[in-house]
Structure 1
Amino acid sequence: MERSAVLLLWVVMLYPVAEWTWGLQILPGPESEDKAVGDSVRMDCRFTLGKEDVGPLDIEWSRTPPDPTASQIIIIDYSGDRVYETRVEDMKGRLYFSAMDPKNGDASINITRLRSSDAGMYHCKVKKSPGSKSKPMKLDVSMKPSPPTCYVDGSQEVGKDAVMKCSSQGTPPIIYTWTKQGASHFLPSTAVADVSLGTLKLKNASLEYSGDYKCVARNRVGSSECVVKFSVSSSSNKGGKIAGAIIGVLLALLLIGVIIWFILRRKKKTTYEKEQPFEIREDVPAPKSRVSTARSYTVDSQRSSLGSMSPSNMEPYKSHYDRLATDDLERPPAHSPNLTPSYKVAVPSLNRMGAVPVMIPAQHRDGSIV
């Protein structure tokens, strides 16, 4: 009885070992991956089958997002000797099985052009009747440090304190390391570096501190670097630089003044030329006057022109006026050839009627008044 009990106990203890040795098993492999944005990753999931595993083979990959409230989703699967492409929109074209035929024992997958949204817990589940196995795997997707910005903050004179700063963007934590370029990469003895803030303080700077300093920003997925030039100068050199800068500014102002003066002078000259009157030619003959006759003058206008003359002054011209008046009354108007006066009035009769003699200015044939 005791031998039978011991034998039965050994059978019970060895049964799990036999099942692990002969049944479906997922082989050990990496359980986490830490990659940078834009990189590629291989999620390992290799398995072995036993003689008793005779059912259809199913492989299923699922992902649990970093958000604990989000539900697990299937991203790719293999069933019935066929691969079903991912139904996740942001992973299309970037997710596929590593092996051409996963049923040969390799259910690993590849993800290319990683994004921050790809981070999370992944589960590889292999099923083949009568058993099934699964394996979890964690994927972290980080952003490597961007090219940092380096500059000197503070004075660069002998005996003064200076601070060099280095700043980069990326997934924390970011570690900053400073080195001096040249034969020796050692920093000056008075230098104090802060690996988390990216600063390098140089106390009581001397001329030997001058040179190029390199800053390397590094996190768990990558690194970037920059170089800053540190030039220590004496006060006299600084004064010379200031004087040179002032002279340069004065020369620039002088040149600007000359240009403005030239523009104003040219503008004034152009305005003067535009304001000059046109030349008047004196050799052009004056236009001829229109022919007019003594008849065009009315009696009122004649009287107004001769109003200043008294009857005594008109006596010498009386005979001349009488003759002109008689001729005008007897002669028909030039502009009315068809009208003939029906009667004539003599000069003595006009005198008796109270007519006032009017002097008519002499005229040339062309009508101009003499």
Structure 2
Amino acid sequence: MELSNPRLCFLLLSLLPGLVSALEITSSPTAPLEKASGQSVKLDCQFSLTSSDSGPLDIEWSLLASDNQINDQVVILYSGDRVYEDYYEPMKGRVHFNTPDPKSGDASINLTGLKSTDTGTYQCKVKKAPGIASKKMQLIVMVRPSKPKCTTEGTLEEGKDIVMRCSTTEGTKPMQYKWEKTSDSKLLPSSSVMDPVAGTINVKNVSTSASGSYRCVASNRVGSEECVLYLHVTPPHNTGGILAGSIIAVLLILLLLAIILYCFFRARKNKKYEKEICNEIKEDVPPPKSRVSSARSFSQMGSQRSSVGSMSPSNLHDYTLKSQYSMKSQYDKIPSTEEYDRPPSQAPLPPPTAARMAGPNLSRMGAIPVMTPAQNRDGSIV
């Protein structure tokens, strides 16, 4: 059975008071809010009540957990005409209702001193029996980039490849990096390739014209920071001269070592030779006999002096003559070089004995008595 148009309109009008009397969140849906750390944000939640909503008013703000296994965390609560702000310890003292009396229809809250841990989905739930309504909104707290550091990798020599790098230690991604030259022509080298995400710029076959100052700007949605880099490209070094100098230095060192070793072994050889000569001299030279012969000669002289002291003057004269002739005879017995060369047939006759040459005979011949010291066979004076 089909309903007529009048009856349908009457039915809709009868249901309209029930729909109008329900509690309603009047704030329009908002896009995700992006704020920088340290800033403040207002989470808007406006609501309207009807005469049918006669129960007590409860307003609850909670931070929804990203994992279904974890319970949602209540941030702030209004219940029984009283505000409870210290529900969530990490936000203690940083979350407040926007108005002192939320019953007026404003359940919005303010968050101050935002931190990166405040990022998440927040839910505003308003309850006044029998009505109930809720609203969700997403907050993204981003960290501003810290001051970046500009560095270079590679040899700053003409013809080499270098990399200019820009990096930050803090900052919420996505992060963008931009390089620009601030001196001379303010144009990047023609062979450079820039990566805005990694913050690098590769320069192939760098030339001296690339020298100058460069600036890197690191930015995200909530802020930016920059650093400056000065690039100084030098001409290529004379590698041939360096190599030749190195070779000459090595050769000089080897020559010096060879001279030192030669002098060392030469001195060692001379020292060894002198030691051997000293040992040979000590072995060839017989022990001296002078002390024994001199002792014997002194004893003989002592005996002769004692015998001379006991003689009379006449006997002393005869004794002197005899000693002279005996000494002379001993010296005459020593053969000369010519006698050694003579044949046995030409050997000289023995000298006259002392018996033939008496003292009176010598005095007649005009001899003068001379006293000479006696010697033994090895030449020592007796």
Superposed, 1:71-86 pairs within 5 Å as: 71-86=71-86
Q: Aligned residue for 1:138?
A: 138
CA deviations over 1:140-178 (Å, ceiling 9, x no partner): 233332221111112223333321011113333322211
Q: TM-score, normalised by structure 2?
A: 0.55
Q: Aligned residue for 2:199?
A: 198
CA-CA distance at 1:19 after TM superposition: 5.7
- When residues 46 and 182 of structure 1 are mapped into structure 2, their CA distance, relative to the original with a 3 A threshold, is farther
CA-CA distance at 1:76 after TM superposition: 0.9
Count, aligned residues = 238
Q: Aligned residue for 1:125?
A: 125
2: distance between equivalents of 1:39 and 1:86? 20
2: distance between equivalents of 1:190 and 1:17? 72
Structure (1/2) with the larger helix percentage: 2
Q: Which amino acid aligns with 1:9?
A: L
CA-CA distance at 1:183 after TM superposition: 7.6
CA-CA distance at 1:99 after TM superposition: 1.8
Q: Residue 53 of structure 1 aligns to a residue in which SS?
A: coil
CA-CA distance at 1:201 after TM superposition: 1.3
Larger Rg: 2
Q: Which runs of 5+ in 2 are unaligned?
A: 243-382
Q: 91-100 vs 27-36, which deviates more?
A: 27-36
CA deviations over 1:293-324 (Å, ceiling 9, x no partner): xxxxxxxxxxxxxxxxxxxxxxxxxxxxxxxx
Matched, 1:91 2:60: no
CA-CA distance at 1:199 after TM superposition: 0.8
- When residues 81 and 51 of structure 1 are mapped into structure 2, their CA distance, relative to the original with a 3 A threshold, is same
- The answer to whether the 8 Å contact 1:66/1:119 transfers is no
1: distance between equivalents of 2:212 and 2:11? 76
- When residues 20 and 188 of structure 1 are mapped into structure 2, their CA distance, relative to the original with a 3 A threshold, is farther
**Root-mean-square deviation (CA), in Å?**
3.0
- The answer to whether the 8 Å contact 2:159/2:236 transfers is no
Q: Which amino acid aligns with 1:203?
A: K
Q: Aligned residue for 2:5?
A: 6
- When residues 31 and 11 of structure 1 are mapped into structure 2, their CA distance, relative to the original with a 3 A threshold, is farther
Q: Aligned residue for 1:108?
A: 108
Q: Residue 159 of structure 1 aligns to a residue in which SS?
A: coil
Q: Which amino acid aligns with 1:24?
A: L
- The answer to whether the 8 Å contact 2:35/2:222 transfers is yes
Q: Aligned residue for 1:42?
A: 42
Superposed, 1:153-302 pairs within 5 Å as: 153-169=153-169, 170-182=171-183, 186-235=187-236
- The answer to whether the 8 Å contact 2:183/2:214 transfers is no
Runs (4+) of structure 1 moved beyond 6 Å? Answer: 14-18
1: distance between equivalents of 2:14 and 2:185? 66
Q: TM-score, normalised by structure 1?
A: 0.57
2: distance between equivalents of 1:24 and 1:234? 79
- The answer to whether the 8 Å contact 1:23/1:51 transfers is no
2: distance between equivalents of 1:211 and 1:19? 75
Q: Which amino acid aligns with 2:134?
A: S
Percent of pairs with identical residues: 47
Q: Which runs of 5+ in 1 are unaligned?
A: 243-370
CA-CA distance at 1:43 after TM superposition: 1.3
CA-CA distance at 1:125 after TM superposition: 0.7
